[in-house]
Amino acid sequence: MTVERSKTLNKNNDPMHGVTLLMIVTQLQKVYGWEELGRKININCFKSDPSIKSSLTFLRKTPWARDKVEQLYLTAVQYKKIKVS
């Protein structure tokens, strides 16, 4: 197997490849809405005057919260609530 083919196979198996935090938050907000996101992940950026911008700012500075959001995204992808292109 060539290195190029190996990279292609790895890329296709990683649902996070090429996915930005903006894409994750936007898709989760469309699927669940802010209220449900606030229930699933108890962080104020989803509960108190939520917006994409404030959520991105908080998540970029807070690794534990970003990990929870990424895990919820992966779960949504696994259960086909979010389609990965």
Q: What is the spatial distance between Cα 45 and Cα 53, in angstroms, rounded to a whole number? A: 9
pLDDT score of 70 more than 90: yes
pTM for the complete prediction?
0.82
Among 46, 36, 39, residue whose Cα is nearest residue 66? 46
**Mean of the pLDDT values across residues 50-71?**
98
Over the chain, what is the mean pLDDT?
89
**Taking the mean position of all CA atoms in its chain, how far away is CA 33?**
14
**Mean of the pLDDT values across residues 3-16?**
62
Task: Report the sign of the C-alpha dihedral through residues 64, 67, 72, 73, in that order.
Answer: positive
What pLDDT sits at residue 14? Answer: 83
φ/ψ of 64, rounded to 5, equals -65, -35
pLDDT score of 8 more than 60: no
Per CATH, the homologous superfamily of domain 20-78 is SAP domain (1.10.720.30)
